[in-house]
Amino acid sequence: MCLHSTPVPQPRPLPSTPTSPAKGLSAQQRQRLAVHALAGTTALSRLAQEHDVSRKFVYHQADKAQQALNDAFGPDVPEERVLFTLPVTKAFLRQTVLGLVLICHSSFRGAAEFLRDLWDYPLSLGSVANIVHQAVAPARAHNDRHDLSALRVGAHDEIFQAGQPVLVGVCAESGYCYLLSQEEHRDADTWGVRLLELSERGFRPEATIADAAAGLRAGQQAALPAVPCRGDVFHALREMQQVVGLLEERAYQAMAGRTRLEQRQARPGKRRDRDKLSLAQQLRYARPAEAQAVTLAQDVALLARWLREDILSVSGPEYAHRLVLFDFVTEELKRREAQGGERLRALRQYLENQREPLLAFVAALDADVTKVATAYAVPEAVVREVLRVQGLPEERTQHWRAEAALRQRLRGRYHAVSKAVSEAVGRVVRASSMAENLNSRLRGYFFLRRELGAGYLSLLQFFLNHRRCQRSHQAGREGKNPAELLSGQAHPHWLELLGYQRFERN
């Protein structure tokens, strides 16, 4: 006897509910829809058809816009009117304290005074410190959780607080701070240990950028020997400009001294007659000294201009040619050391010691130029010409004439080659500007405290990495934080990452 079981029909999966077109409209699209509806230039039925929504939805958006206009142009709201209420809980007070300390750069005493004077809520300094301390553990966990393998170029620097160094490491492209540690020393061992700890989180950049700090460079060479440490163009140009300013000041002083002697010589009277021979003797030496000081200042200023615009600029000759030009500048500085003094000699030695690190970005740019030339089957000289033209100011006629000649030569390949060169230029990092920018923001927090502590720095690092940028000249940065720019993924608000629920008005 054979038994046959009747198959039980399986339930069919329900179709996924499609998203309505109205929910897919962005805030800007809803705003434009409301404006067109209020303007009355287009029928509401047509607006609904164009946006694939109902007329009821169009009426609703128009009513919201009309209400906003009424509120904006209506009578002033009385000062006594209650705009909205706040649910003041302990969690809300903790968020307020963190916001005052991190957003408003408030001290612990200032946060306690704010709650006492404005909200009539007394809070001791110990309670404020405990609130900040409780946020350290989740902040540190988020700091250690981030993967650093996507970081391409790192910028390293050192900042001092109360005589103790604080080691700083930041992504040169996204601004993500991956190192903020106060140490007793800034020697090679300290830097090496911190970099080895970062390597466990995937820190393997193509290169790093730093100034001429010996301990920093030695520590990276020991911990990450395969990662080159490029020189910081900003510091080199700043040192050069400071020497130029010093020499110009000496030249102006020599000019003023010679002018005073000539005025005394031209002033009539018995005193002039008595000092006539002495003034003539002084002018005999003052005029050549003035000419020498003016010539020295002009020569060094010209060398600084060559260094800034031709040698250390993005658009320029290839690496080998720049080495020759760099050696020419240092040789000319050496010839003038006897006239310029110790500052000029120190500048020349600094440039000679940083020759290869300062020009390391050029070697990487040359490799990108070769790739572009190979990919589009054009000579490297033509790609370099595109690079040079892109570096010219657009308001100059020379820019447009050179670009027209390149368009004629490359024809259909011009736009692709120009875009590839622009992308290569966008990858060039010559200075640790991100580290300097971070240092300037850290100063606003450090001056409030004499002793920082590892916990406070961890919380500060977390906040700066997850604080959204309010405005930026670079496309794609506004409204995002450094952690999102580095990972390419959206992150919740920093208060939500710390376990709080943000207040939202109804």
Would you place residue 164 in the very low, low, confident or very high pLDDT band (cuts 50, 70, 90)?
A: confident
In whole angstroms, what is the distance from residue 174 CA to residue 154 CA?
A: 10
pLDDT of residue 155: 93
- Residues 6+ away with beta carbon under 8 Å from 463: 102, 139, 494
Residue 394 phi, psi dihedral angles, 5° rounding = -70, -20
* Pair of tokens at residue 320: 């080998």
Residue 166's DSSP bridge partners are 159, 182
Do 486 and 151 form a contact (C-beta atoms < 8 A)?
yes
Same domain, 49 and 94: no
CA separation, residue 99 to residues 6, 96, 102 (Å): 66, 5, 5
For residue 18, tell me if it sits in a domain. no
Q: Which amino acid is at 482?
A: P
For residue 502, tell me if it sits in a domain. no
Distance of CA 497 to the CA centre of its chain: 24
Cα end-to-end span (Å), the chain? 71
Residue with the larger pLDDT of the pair 435 and 451:
435
Domain stop point among 343, 358, 373: 358
Domain stop point among 99, 114, 134: 134
Same domain, 225 and 200: yes
Domain stop point among 426, 454, 473: 426
In whole angstroms, what is the distance from residue 301 CA to residue 438 CA?
A: 30
pLDDT of residue 315: 87
For residue 246, tell me if it sits in a domain. yes
Same domain, 152 and 130: no
pLDDT at 121 over 60: yes
Same domain, 405 and 420: yes
Query: Residue 167 maps to which CATH number?
Result: 3.30.420.10
Residue with the larger pLDDT of the pair 458 and 261:
458
For residue 378, tell me if it sits in a domain. yes
pLDDT of residue 79: 67
Residue 208's DSSP bridge partners are 154, 229
Residue 159's DSSP bridge partners are 166
Residue 329 phi, psi dihedral angles, 5° rounding = -65, -45
For residue 315, tell me if it sits in a domain. yes
Using alpha carbons, select from 366, 359, 365, 332 the residue that is nearest to residue 236. Answer: 359
In whole angstroms, what is the distance from residue 383 CA to residue 385 CA?
A: 5
Same domain, 393 and 318: no
In whole angstroms, what is the distance from residue 97 CA to residue 108 CA?
A: 8
In order, the DSSP letters of 21-77 are: HHHH--HHHHHHHHHHHHHTSS-HHHHHHHTT--HHHHHHHHHHHHHHHHHHHSPPP
Same domain, 213 and 293: no
Residue 319's DSSP bridge partners are none
Q: pLDDT for 391-446, tens place per residue?
A: 888 888 888 898 899 888 888 888 999 999 999 988 898 888 888 888 898 888 88
pLDDT of residue 13: 46
Same domain, 295 and 241: yes
Other beta carbons within 10 Å of 309: 12
Do 186 and 165 form a contact (C-beta atoms < 8 A)?
yes
Same domain, 216 and 306: no
pLDDT of residue 132: 93
Q: Which amino acid is at 29?
A: Q
Percent of the chain with pLDDT over 90: 47
3-state secondary structure of 159: strand
3-state secondary structure of 404: helix
Do 498 and 135 form a contact (C-beta atoms < 8 A)?
yes
pLDDT of residue 8: 41
In order, the DSSP letters of 435-492 are: HHHHHHHHHHHHTT-S---HHHHHHHHHHHHHSPPS--SSTT-TT--HHHHHHSS---
Would you place residue 163 in the very low, low, confident or very high pLDDT band (cuts 50, 70, 90)?
A: confident
pLDDT at 149 over 60: yes
pLDDT at 328 over 70: yes
Distance of CA 64 to the CA centre of its chain: 39
Q: pLDDT for 66-111, tens place per residue?
A: 888 877 777 765 667 888 888 889 999 999 999 999 999 999 999 9
Q: pLDDT for 165-194, tens place per residue?
A: 999 999 998 899 999 999 998 999 999 999
- Residues 6+ away with beta carbon under 8 Å from 468: 479, 480, 481
Same domain, 477 and 489: yes
In whole angstroms, what is the distance from residue 151 CA to residue 491 CA?
A: 18
pLDDT of residue 270: 64
In whole angstroms, what is the distance from residue 480 CA to residue 491 CA?
A: 9
Q: Judging by DSSP bridges, how do beta strands 164-171 and 177-182 pair with one another?
A: antiparallel
Helix 319-335 / helix 342-353 crossing angle, nearest 10 deg: 160
Q: pLDDT for 479-498, tens place per residue?
A: 888 999 898 888 899 999 99
Q: Which amino acid is at 285?
A: Y
Same domain, 307 and 238: yes
- Residues 6+ away with beta carbon under 8 Å from 319: 359, 362, 363, 366
Q: pLDDT for 267-308, tens place per residue?
A: 776 666 666 778 788 888 889 999 999 999 999 999 999 999
Using alpha carbons, select from 392, 437, 50 the residue that is nearest to residue 234. Answer: 437
Q: pLDDT for 225-237, tens place per residue?
A: 999 999 999 989 9
Same domain, 241 and 353: yes
* Pair of tokens at residue 28: 């800007």
For residue 12, tell me if it sits in a domain. no
pLDDT of residue 168: 94
Strands (E), 184-297: 207-210, 229-231
Number of domains in the chain: 5
For residue 14, tell me if it sits in a domain. no
pLDDT at 20 over 90: no
Percent of the chain with pLDDT over 70: 93
pLDDT at 5 over 50: no
pTM of the model: 0.74
pLDDT of residue 273: 62
pLDDT at 17 over 60: no
For residue 482, tell me if it sits in a domain. yes
Q: pLDDT for 234-254, tens place per residue?
A: 989 999 999 999 999 999 999
Start-end of H helices in 74-187: 90-102, 108-119, 125-134, 136-145
Query: Can you give the residue range of the structural domain that contains 107?
Result: 90-134
CA separation, residue 9 to residues 6, 12, 129 (Å): 9, 9, 64
What is the pLDDT averaged over residues 123-139? Answer: 93
Same domain, 171 and 243: no
What is the pLDDT averaged over residues 455-480? Answer: 85
Residues found in the chain: 506
